[in-house]
C-alpha cells in the first residue's frame, strides 16, 4: 500500500491554513468534476483523489493523525504495518482501523476512498455496515452562485439566467426576496452517482441600496415631495411607489414631515401570496420656484394678513 501525500495532491504546503486548503480544493474540484469530464476515467480518479485529500486536511483531528503517521511512515512500512523491528517505540495499533469499527474517525458514507485512507481512518462509521468501494451512493455537488436584483425586481419577482458549470440555468426569483437571502433549487446541481441524489443550486441574492426607498422588513419608507399649495389647501398629489405612480389624498394644512401610511403597498411577504407590508410616505414640502411678480405680491399680502392675525 503506497503512502498518499495529501498536501502534494492539493498543491499546498504542510503549513497551509484552512482557507488555503479550501481554496485549492475548490479550484481542483471545478477542473476535474465528473460533470465537466464525462467519460474521462483519469479525471474521475483525480476528482476522487482530491476529494479524499480534502476530507482529511479540512478536519483538524484527521489532519493531526495523518501528519503524525506521515512522520513515521517508513517505520510503518518496515514494520509490516504491525510493529516489530524499526517500529518498537511506536504504537501501530491505532493506525490499523481494519474492516471493523473505525477508530473514532469515521467518514461520511457515500464517499469513495482509497485503501490508504481506509487503513488509517476505517472503512465505515461506528455502528454501520461498510459498502463495497466504488458502489457507494454519492450525492451530486451543490452549485453556488450569486445574483444581483434591483429593489423593483425584488418587489415584483423576476428571472435570471446563470452560467453554471458551462451550462445556462434559468431561475425564477419570487416576489418579496430580501438582500442576502439564499434560494435553493433542489436537484438542479451536479448529478449523483451510484443512485445518489442530485445536488442543489444555491443562489445568494444581493439588492443594492435604492436612492428613494428604504426597506424595513416588509415595510417601505420614502419621502414624498408635495407641492406647497396642495399641502396647504389639501387635494390629490402624484407620488412614486414600487407599483408605479399613483395619486393619493393629502389632508389640508398637512405639516412638513407628516407620515402617511399606505396599507398593503409595502414589500410582498415572501412565500405568502396576497400578503404585503405597508408603505410609509413622509411629506416633504416642495416649495415653488421662479415665482412671478404677481405671485410674490400675493405672498406679501398673505404675510401681512398672517402678521395682523397674530
pLDDT digits (tens, 9 = 90+) for 137-160: 888 888 888 999 999 999 999 999
Q: Which domains does the chain have, with CATH numbers?
A: 6-121 (1.10.287.110), 143-206 (2.60.260.20), 214-309 (2.60.260.20)
- Alpha-carbon distance values, 299 to 18, 101, 123, 217, 288 (Å): 72, 93, 91, 44, 12
Average per-residue pLDDT for the chain: 82
What 3-state DSSP class applies to 67? helix
Residue 28 clears pLDDT 70, i.e. is over it: yes
Per the CB < 8 A criterion, the answer to whether 220 and 279 are in contact is yes
For residues 124 and 252, give the distance between their C-alpha atoms in angstroms, rounded to a whole number: 78
Give the mean pLDDT of 9-29. 91
Query: And the C-alpha cell for 265?
Result: 403597498
Which pLDDT score is estimated for 87?
Answer: 44
Strands (E), the chain: 143-148, 158-164, 167-173, 182-185, 201-206, 214-216, 219-227, 235-241, 244-250, 259-262, 279-286
Instruction: Find the mean pLDDT for residues 54-77.
Output: 79
Instruction: Compute the distance between CA of residue 152 and CA of residue 160 in angstroms, rounded to an integer.
Output: 14
Mean pLDDT of 14-29: 91
Residue 141 CB neighbour total at 10 angstroms = 20
pLDDT on residue 79 = 53
pLDDT (0 to 100) of residue 76: 57
pLDDT digits (tens, 9 = 90+) for 165-207: 777 888 899 999 999 999 998 988 888 888 888 889 899 999 9
Q: State the average pLDDT over residues 238-260.
A: 95
Q: Which residues contact 252 (CB under 8 A, 6 or more apart)?
A: 232, 233, 234, 235
pTM: 0.56
User: Do residues 171 and 159 make contact, with C-beta atoms less than 8 angstroms apart?
Assistant: yes
Residue of 4 and 244 predicted with greater confidence: 244
Distance of alpha carbon 178 from alpha carbon 269, whole angstroms: 10
Q: Do 147 and 162 meet the contact criterion of CB atoms below 8 Å apart?
A: yes
CA gap 187, 167 in Å, rounded:
15
User: Length of the chain, please?
Assistant: 310
pLDDT tens profile 86-138: 444 555 555 554 433 333 333 333 356 777 787 777 643 333 444 445 567 88
pLDDT at 99 (0 to 100): 36
Predicted pLDDT of residue 247:
96
Nearest to 147 by CA among 132, 137, 159: 159
Amino acid at each position: 500500500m503506497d503512502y498518499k501525500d495529501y498536501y502534494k495532491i492539493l498543491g499546498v504546503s504542510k503549513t497551509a491554513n484552512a482557507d488555503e486548503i479550501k481554496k485549492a480544493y475548490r479550484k481542483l474540484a471545478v477542473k476535474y468534476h465528473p460533470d465537466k469530464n464525462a467519460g474521462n476515467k483519469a479525471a474521475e480518479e483525480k476528482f476522487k483523489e482530491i476529494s479524499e485529500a480534502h476530507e482529511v486536511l479540512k478536519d483538524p483531528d484527521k489532519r493531526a493523525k495523518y501528519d503524525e503517521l506521515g512522520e513515521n511512515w517508513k517505520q510503518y512500512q518496515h514494520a509490516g504495518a504491525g510493529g516489530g523491528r524499526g517500529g518498537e517505540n511506536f504504537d501501530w495499533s491505532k493506525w490499523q482501523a481494519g474492516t471493523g469499527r473505525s477508530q473514532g474517525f469515521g467518514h461520511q458514507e457515500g464517499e469513495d476512498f482509497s485503501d490508504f485512507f481506509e487503513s488509517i481512518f476505517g472503512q465505515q462509521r461506528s455502528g454501520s455496515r461498510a459498502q463495497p468501494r466504488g458502489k457507494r451512493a454519492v450525492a451530486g455537488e451543490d452549485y453556488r452562485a450569486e445574483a444581483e436584483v434591483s429593489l423593483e425586481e425584488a418587489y415584483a419577482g423576476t428571472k435570471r439566467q446563470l452560467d453554471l458549470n458551462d451550462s445556462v440555468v434559468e431561475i425564477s426569483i419570487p416576489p418579496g426576496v430580501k438582500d442576502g437571502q439564499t434560494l435553493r433549487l433542489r436537484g438542479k446541481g451536479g448529478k449523483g452517482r451510484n443512485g445518489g441524489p442530485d445536488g442543489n443550486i444555491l443562489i445568494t441574492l444581493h439588492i443594492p441600496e435604492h436612492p428613494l426607498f428604504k426597506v424595513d422588513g416588509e415595510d417601505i419608507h420614502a419621502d414624498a415631495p408635495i407641492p406647497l399649495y396642495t399641502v396647504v389647501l389639501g387635494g390629490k398629489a402624484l407620488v412614486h411607489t414600487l407599483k408605479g405612480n399613483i395619486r393619493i389624498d393629502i389632508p389640508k394644512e398637512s405639516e412638513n414631515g407628516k407620515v402617511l401610511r399606505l396599507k398593503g403597498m409595502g414589500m410582498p411577504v415572501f412565500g405568502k401570496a396576497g400578503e404585503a407590508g405597508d408603505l410609509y410616505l413622509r411629506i416633504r414640502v416642495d416649495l415653488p420656484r421662479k415665482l412671478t411678480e404677481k405671485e410674490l405680491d400675493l405672498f406679501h399680502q398673505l404675510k401681512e394678513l398672517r402678521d395682523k392675525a397674530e
